[in-house]
């Protein structure tokens, strides 16, 4: 799962840079679904004044059941940033440090990554993942120790 033995944010950035598969959407979706549980929240401030936010989908369902993959959900959100590059002023990825990350009362106050319109980004150096047998989760104890805002 982790490339080159990296368990921090560099593995996510390498995976985002690799790109994703292309596919055709079979139906138009005009309405966004907000999940009940999400570890991350992406907020994009566009140049025309709009603000859009996206939640992560951490639960991956498959034929034998379901598992939590917070590593892959972060990759998917950062791919959205990569696809919208040039049309926004700032994009900020937030995380919540709650054990059960509910979206209805979740406090997304820890900055994970911050992008500007030039394509450069800053990231939180306290982000690490705990590889498990099935679940890949964010190390909340290490994230709580670090700063809430990203510093240069």
Q: What is the largest CA-CA distance in the chain?
A: 45
Give me the residue label for tokens 């140049």: 47
Q: What is the structure's pLDDT at 3?
A: 46
Q: If pLDDT is split at 50, 70 and 90, which confidence band does 27 have?
A: low
Mean per-residue pLDDT for 100-127? 89
- pLDDT at residue 25 above 70? no
Residue 93 near residue 34, CB atoms below 8 Å: no
* Domain edges within the chain: 3-17+36-145
Chain segment 50-94, per-residue pLDDT in tens: 999 999 988 888 888 888 888 889 999 999 999 898 899 999 999
Coarse DSSP helix, strand, coil percentages of the chain, rounded to the nearest 5 percent: 20, 30, 45
- Here the tokens at position 145 are 């120790």
DSSP 74: H
Q: End-to-end alpha-carbon separation of the chain, Å?
A: 29
Strands 51-55 and 59-62: unpaired
Question: Which of 3-12, 54-63, 142-151 has the lowest average pLDDT?
Answer: 3-12
- In angstroms, rounded to a whole number, what is the distance separating the alpha carbons of residues 99 and 95? 12
Per-residue pLDDT band for 32 (boundaries 50, 70, 90) equals low
């Amino acid at each position: 799962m982790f490339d080159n033995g990296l368990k921090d944010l560099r593995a996510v950035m390498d995976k985002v840079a690799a790109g994703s598969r292309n596919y055709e959407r079979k139906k138009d979706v005009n309405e966004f679904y907000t999940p009940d549980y999400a570890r991350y929240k992406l907020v994009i401030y566009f140049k025309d004044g709009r603000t859009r936010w996206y939640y992560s989908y951490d639960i991956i369902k498959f034929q034998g059941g379901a598992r939590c993959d917070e590593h892959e959900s972060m990759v998917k959100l950062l791919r959205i940033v990569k696809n919208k590059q040039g049309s926004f002023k700032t994009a900020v990825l937030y995380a919540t440090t709650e054990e059960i990350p509910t979206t209805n009362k979740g406090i997304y106050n820890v900055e994970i990554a911050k992008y500007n319109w030039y394509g450069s980004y800053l990231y939180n150096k306290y982000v690490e993942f705990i590889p498990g047998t099935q679940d890949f989760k964010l190390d909340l104890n290490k994230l709580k120790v670090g700063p809430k805002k990203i510093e240069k």
